[in-house]
Structure 1
Amino acid sequence: MRPTTLAELDQARQRCQKLVSRRALVSAAAAVVPIPGVDVSTDVAILLQLIPAINEEFGLSPAQINALSPELQKIVIVGGANFGVGLLGKIITPQLVIQVLQRIGVKKLAGKYATKYIPIVGSVIASTISYAVLRKVGNQHINECYALAKRLIEADSTALTTL
């Protein structure tokens, strides 16, 4: 259900931030495994679940957007096009997640893969980078969803006051 007040919106953001932090810890744990590729596939799998959960929490899943009035759908389409992560209201695919990871954390990800080959210390560094990248992607998506959901709440309240 889409948040309809700023208090509900703030609660949704807090729930999502906790979810992102927990999933980032899982990502960090996977990055400790010294097998190349395990961490990347884990990050992709986590984001394939995390992004739709965040969208749902803010009322911005594809089904929820389709249920909006045409005026509110326009706000979502126009507003969502201007964001960096760009995963609002979309069907999330592994290719889309990989593109986002590459766009947001290219330098960090390159460093993460290079450090995997340094015993012990490399795993710790890779784990830290993995945690930071996943949190960055997740929190940026939360901020984008929050801003867009806030615009929807404001548009709803404006429509009610003009009646």
Structure 2
Amino acid sequence: MLIKSLAELDRIRDECKSMVTKRSAVSAGAAAIPVPGLDLGTDVALLVEMLPAINSKFGLTPEQIERMDSRSKRMVIVAVSSIGSEAIGKFISRTLVMSLLKKMSTKVATKSVVRFVPFVGQAVAATISFGVMKMVGNGHIDDCYEVCRQALLEEARQATVIVIGPDTED
């Protein structure tokens, strides 16, 4: 594992949350422009770029996992399986991003329809877009954080040595 402490893990989480907030603002800006398809195309492009960047910061890209020693790799794979993430340690494709957005389909559909109402609709669409992007991004950060935390704790458990020796009592 690349991350060696919970303090470092917390710092990475904070950096990633800042990145998600910035990308969410870009998504909101695109949603405020009443051009059909612009908002969804922007969201997909942002997520295709952002999710691998988050994986990379946590050391969880497919390449980074492949380079781990077998014990660390096993710990990460078990942790990923336990939380059920679809995006950790995987190649992030447009298809995967679209499936993540489909989970938010009601909000995405509302955003697409409402933005054609002058002024108020655009503001509502921007707000929904910001919220959806934050939800997807921060959810992925939370998953990555939990995988790394579980792997760090397991590594610490395995590194703990208990010495059992002869009794020294008289």
- Common fold, TM-score beyond 0.5? yes
Instruction: Tell whether 2:48 aligns with 1:48.
Output: yes
Q: Is the 8 A contact 1:85 1:140 kept in 2?
A: no
- Counting matched residue pairs gives 162
List per-residue Cα deviations over 1:22-57 (Å, max 9, x = no partner). 110000001011001000010011011110111011
Partner of 1:15: 15
Q: Give the share of equivalent positions with the same residue, in percent.
A: 39
List per-residue Cα deviations over 1:83-110 (Å, max 9, x = no partner). 465200100001110100111x111111
Q: Is the 8 A contact 2:79 2:151 kept in 1?
A: no
Q: Could you state the TM-score of these two structures normalised by the residue count of structure 2? A: 0.89
Query: Which one-letter code corresponds to 1:124 in the other structure?
Result: A
- Offset, 1:72: 2.5
- Offset, 1:116: 2.1
Q: Could you state the TM-score of these two structures normalised by the residue count of structure 1? A: 0.93
Q: Is the 8 A contact 1:58 1:146 kept in 2?
A: yes
- Offset, 1:68: 1.6
CA RMSD in angstroms, aligned pairs only: 1.6
Partner of 1:110: 109
Could you tell me how far apart the structure 1 residues matched to 2:8 and 2:64 are?
17
* Mean Cα deviation higher: 1-10 or 124-133: 1-10
List per-residue Cα deviations over 1:101-153 (Å, max 9, x = no partner). 111x1111111111022112111111000000000000000000000001111
- Offset, 1:77: 2.3
Q: Is the 8 A contact 2:59 2:65 kept in 1?
A: yes
Partner of 2:159: 160
Could you tell me how far apart the structure 2 residues matched to 1:69 and 1:156 are?
12
Instruction: Tell whether 2:119 aligns with 1:120.
Output: yes
Could you tell me how far apart the structure 2 residues matched to 1:60 and 1:83 are?
14
Which consecutive residues of structure 2, in runs of 5 or more, have no partner in the other structure?
163-170
Which consecutive residues of structure 1, in runs of 5 or more, have no partner in the other structure?
none
Query: Which one-letter code corresponds to 1:127 in the other structure?
Result: A
- Offset, 1:162: 3.6
Could you tell me how far apart the structure 2 residues matched to 1:117 and 1:124 are?
10
Q: Is the 8 A contact 1:24 1:134 kept in 2?
A: yes
Could you tell me how far apart the structure 2 residues matched to 1:139 and 1:85 are?
13
Could you tell me how far apart the structure 2 residues matched to 1:41 and 1:83 are?
28
